[in-house]
Amino acid sequence: MLDFSQQDHRRGFRSKKWSRFGPDVLPLPVADMDCTIAEPIQAALNERVAHGIFGYDHPPENAISVFVQHCAEQYDWAVDPEWIVPVGGVVPAQFAAVRAFSQGGQIAIPNPIYHSFPRAPEIGDAQAQAIGSVLQQGRETLDLQAFEACLAQADNAGVSLLCNPHNPGGAVYTQDELQQISTIAHTHQNVLVSDEIWADLILDNLPHHPMAKIDPVWGISILAATKTWNIAGLHLAFVVIPNPDLRVRFQSAIIGYPEVSYLAWIATTAAYQQGGPWRSALLDHLRGQRATMQAFVEQHPHLSMTHLQGTYLAWVDCRALNRPALHADCVAAGLGPDDGEPYGKPGFLRFNLACSAPLLEQALQRFAGVIA
């Protein structure tokens, strides 16, 4: 059962989201959710913890086949188990990919973007080249002309980072857009590293197209159960690399990385295998939260918001308010969204909608007071 009633206890468990601001601030930053996890995941973890011995264990026997089945059912994608490289987290996988494929120079990174992305090029002796977005029917998607221009430069590093569904903004890339990206990558011999951590949190009735399915030569898809099933602290990412040459290079780049924790394997396997009904309930809840947020934005002419096709992160353009201290003013008034600046866009606020409906309503009342 989806349960958002335990949220107030999060502070006592040192939640980063609940301890970022003071005790009177309603917290809406950091992409995890205020709900407890699905019962089958909790039961699988309880059983393992009750065993009481935490030595070196193999992953559950069915862990890979369960993920392969998830890809078949959810993305209509036949994944060969050999293509899969497990890594303890999506961000470590991004960084390893840059280390594996960068030849130094410019790496195309979307803007705005989750804050780990612009830091990744450092590890490959490269620089981030921010690729802006274009507004298309209410959604912000990658500027493909700027992307191509970046890859065409003589000092392009030979690898680019993508995020689909996109954080922040929530755009879900279409097959056509991904095919255009793939064509550009082929022309310029560029590895496409696609962070797809949000793939199972699409709110509209749209399919997720993994980059490595669209382009098995240059595409790499990084998938994980961690966002969708609220097990972000139990890091496990599946890096799917159909091209064997790229896979070997990536595997060299993760030598020395810690093994994935056994509890992460257990939680992820239970999530993919038994977490379907819980995810459906979650998506319904998030659609309701999105509607509340959209209605609020529509009532306030100085605000606008891209249509959140996926993710639970509302990306609100507040630039028309012309309030450089808006984020600080929000915190002073008792609500704590993320500031847009670390995502590359000052003047925006990012609201994490994965909270209870009353909390969001209260937060929006406070926001209305700030911008009145």
Ligand X SMILES: Cc1ncc(COP(=O)(O)O)c(C=O)c1O
The residues of the shown chain that bind ligand X, judged by CB under 6 A, are: 31, 89-91, 114, 163, 167, 195, 197, 224, 226, 232, 235, 237
Q: Which two tokens stand for residue 275?
A: 């977490």
**Is the CB of residue 17 less than 8 Å from the CB of residue 27?**
yes
Other residues' Cβ atoms within 10 Å of the Cβ of residue 19: 15
Residue among 129 and 194 whose Cβ is closer to ligand X:
194
Q: How far is the CB of 292 from ligand X (least distance, A)?
A: 22
29 or 334: CB nearest ligand X = 29
Write out the H or E segment, with its range, that includes residue 93: helix 90-101
Distances (CA, A) of 125 to 105, 154, 173, 246: 7, 16, 29, 19
Identify which of 38, 81, 85 has the alpha carbon closest to the alpha carbon of residue 268.
38
Q: Which is nearer to ligand X, 225 or 335 (CB)?
A: 225
Nearer residue to ligand X within complex by CB, 233 or 244:
233
Residue 7, SS3 per DSSP: helix
Contact (CB, 8 A) for 313 and 165: no
Residue 105 or 344: which CB sits closer to ligand X?
Answer: 344
- Nearer to ligand X (CB atom), residue 32 or residue 177: 32
Amino acid found at 118 = P
Output the DSSP codes for 229-248.
Answer: TT-TTS--EEEE--SHHHHH
How far is residue 282's CA from residue 165's CA, in Å, rounded to a whole number? 17
CA distance 118 to 331: 26
Smallest distance from ligand X to CB 310, Å = 11
Q: What is the smallest separation between the CB atom of 129 and ligand X, expressed in angstroms?
A: 19
Report the nearest approach of ligand X to the CB of residue 252 (Å): 20
Least separation in angstroms between CB 10 and ligand X: 17
Least distance (Å) between residue 115 CB and ligand X: 9
Phi-psi sector, 101: left (phi>0), alpha (psi -120 to 50), beta: alpha
Nearer to ligand X, 44 or 232 (CB): 232
Supply the minimum distance, in Å, between the C-beta of residue 117 and ligand X. 8
